[in-house]
Structure 1
Amino acid sequence: MRDQIARSEARQQVNKAVANSPGLSTLGIDGRLVRFSPIDSAAIEISHGWYGSSYPWGDVPRWKRKDAKGLDLALWHADELCGLCYATPRRSHLRIKVILLEGQPNMRHPLKGLVARLMFLAVGVYARMLGCEVIQIESPEPGVVSYYQRLGFQFDADGCLVISAGRS
């Protein structure tokens, strides 16, 4: 129950921060239309219609039952699903690992280019609540490593792509 409350609180904190974000306003995005929620059956169903998506979002409900500290995020702009993310500390007290992260493949969705940044903001809030120091990208696809590096991620001494949870 404590973990469920922490996940809910993290989403609430991020929703509040995004709703009042001057940075989004500068980009012409009304932050009040942006929200994070758990990945539910409606989000999974929508993701099945994403052209080219091969991520196992349908497995997330099972993962959530097995992983009390796992964080599932559906990122919405009004009624449009713009991204999905699953992260977990997996028995670690220092790292939270982003297992899956996907933005809607439609080139014109309202949060195009912002999905990863917003997801890392939310994961960072949750990581800090858990006392984790680092966000790690689990098995990053080679084609997106440079993008993550532009967001501030770096390879650590163990070869893991990480960023401080305080910097996300």
Structure 2
Amino acid sequence: MEALNFHNYPAVIGYYQALRKEVWSITQESWPQSSIKGISLKTARLADSWKEMRGANLRSSRASWDWEPEFNAYQKKPKRYEMSVWFENQLCGLCYGFASKHGTKVRMNLIESTPVRPNPLGEGVFPILSFGATVYANLISADEVWVLDPVKGAIDYYENQGFSAPEIYHGKRVGMKKL
């Protein structure tokens, strides 16, 4: 990839967008049964609609945030990590994060999977999102991948996926580091 000129903001935006597209492509190759994309406003709104879903075959807990305002906030972050995972035409999960100030860490800040059970990808959504974050970390030469502010119900799952027990991240937040 072409050298990055940090004095040219449009070039910075284009550079990181190209990196995200490369992440999606590499991840797609590793998980051909799914479709890997970025997060559009339409995708954010679709994820927000999960809060309105009711029924016996649904996970009861939902994200504490709304994806549409997060979409607007994350679009302003050139170094963001973003990924949505689809099976056929069904959104199965999505994640927002970004690289730390010095680019040594990639943080997965917001993670959610569809409340529909069974999920068409089973428990495969988080491994796909985590793999993508790891690819992004490798492309920007970051040496750590973190899940920040993990929900209590997912801690055991994240540990089984190769993340550390919860610890303090950067002195103020709880995080789990990929081992």
Which bin holds the TM-score, normalised by the shorter protein? 0.7 to 0.9
Structure 1 Cα separation of the partners of residues 103 and 44 of structure 2: 29
Match for residue 23 of structure 2 among 2, 5, 10? 10
Q: Return the letter of the residue paired with 2:162.
A: G
Question: How many matched pairs?
Answer: 151
Indicate if the aligned counterparts of 1:39 and 1:60 stay in contact, CA closer than 8 A.
no
Give a deviation string over 1:76-103, Cα, whole Å, max 9, x none. 0010000010111131322111100001
Tell me the residue number matched to 2:35: 35
Structure 2 Cα separation of the partners of residues 156 and 106 of structure 1: 27
Q: Return the letter of the residue paired with 1:162.
A: K
TM value normalised by structure 2: 0.77
Q: How far 1:133 sits from its partner (Å)? A: 1.1
Structure 1 Cα separation of the partners of residues 160 and 22 of structure 2: 29
Unmatched runs of 5 consecutive residues or more in structure 2: 1-13, 54-61, 170-174
Match for residue 123 of structure 1 among 123, 133, 138? 133
Structure 2 Cα separation of the partners of residues 81 and 75 of structure 1: 6
Bigger radius of gyration, 1 or 2?
2
Residue 67 in structure 1 maps to residue 73 in structure 2? no
1:53-92 mapped onto 2 (5 Å cutoff) = 53-92=63-102
Unmatched runs of 5 consecutive residues or more in structure 1: 20-30
Q: Return the letter of the residue paired with 1:150.
A: N
Indicate if the aligned counterparts of 1:47 and 1:53 stay in contact, CA closer than 8 A.
no
Structure 1 pair 158/48, CA: closer, same or farther in 2 (3 Å)?
closer
Q: Percent identity?
A: 21
Structure 1 pair 44/158, CA: closer, same or farther in 2 (3 Å)?
closer
